[in-house]
Amino acid sequence: MTGDTFIAVDEYIDELFAPEDDALRSAQARARAAGLPEIQVSANQGKLLYLLARLVGARSVLEIGTLAGYSTIWLARGLPADGRLVTLERDPDYARVARENFRAARLDHMITTITGPALDTLPTLESAGAAPFDLVFLDADKVNFPAYLDWAVKLSRPGGLILADNVVREGKVLHPNDDDPSALGAAAFNRRLARNPRLESVVLQQVGIKGHDGLAIARIKD
């Protein structure tokens, strides 16, 4: 199979199972207009996030890495009407676009966007009593992924889910080197994930419109 086939299948899946509505299309358009990098999850990946939130019965979600809020919208739609979602974004310009998208999607009442480096803001969530969360989604800089995982475990409830995007890095996790800090971070994250005694976990390899990568799924043991 070719890369074109993988992309065509992704588009087929999107059309059948994850068609974008006006809010999602507008979120993408605002991100492009603001010059944000097009590294958000695909529509079918967003639908998977939505379904996992529903399946775990999530009422509270933590996202590390907001970008323009595309994945945030999918996750928020998986919550009940009184659910809450906290999303952390380092870049204030990205956070501004995301807040616009949340207002346009009529989800701003349940989403709190916190700006600043996540390793600085995560301790404030603990001290403020925001935890535990039912689902944590990691989609930020890979260099700090191992540290984000530690915080995700600390802030999650028993039976909760931890999801992490981009953990295969086009296969570069097989032989990471100092020239690719993101691959090194992802490889270190995967080792820590596999060895954590509190977690049941797996990594799913993915190919498609977003290239060759992988999604980690972990459950906090009861």
Mean pLDDT value across residues 9-29: 96
DSSP E strands, 35-173: 60-64, 84-89, 111-115, 133-138, 156-165
| Residue 201 reports pLDDT greater than 80 | yes
What digits encode the pLDDT tens for the residues 62-85?
999 999 999 999 999 999 999 999
DSSP E strands, the chain: 60-64, 84-89, 111-115, 133-138, 156-165, 199-208, 211-220
pLDDT the model gives residue 69: 98
Q: Which amino acid is at 48?
A: L
The CATH homologous superfamily for domain 3-220 is Vaccinia Virus protein VP39 (3.40.50.150)
The whole model's pTM is what? 0.96
| Residue 1 reports pLDDT greater than 80 | no
| Residue 178 reports pLDDT greater than 80 | no
Please state the φ and ψ torsions of residue 25, each to the nearest 5 degrees: -65, -40
Task: Express as a percent the part of the chain with pLDDT over 90.
Answer: 91
> Nearest Cα to 64, choosing from 45, 47, 86, 41?
86
Residue with tokens 């600085």: 120
| Residue 158 reports pLDDT greater than 70 | yes
pLDDT the model gives residue 37: 94
pLDDT the model gives residue 2: 66
Mean pLDDT value across residues 115-133: 94
pLDDT the model gives residue 3: 77
What digits encode the pLDDT tens for the residues 79-114?
999 999 999 999 999 999 999 999 999 999 999 999
| Residue 8 reports pLDDT greater than 70 | yes
| Residue 126 reports pLDDT greater than 60 | yes
Q: Structural domain boundaries of the chain?
A: 3-220
| Residue 30 reports pLDDT greater than 80 | yes
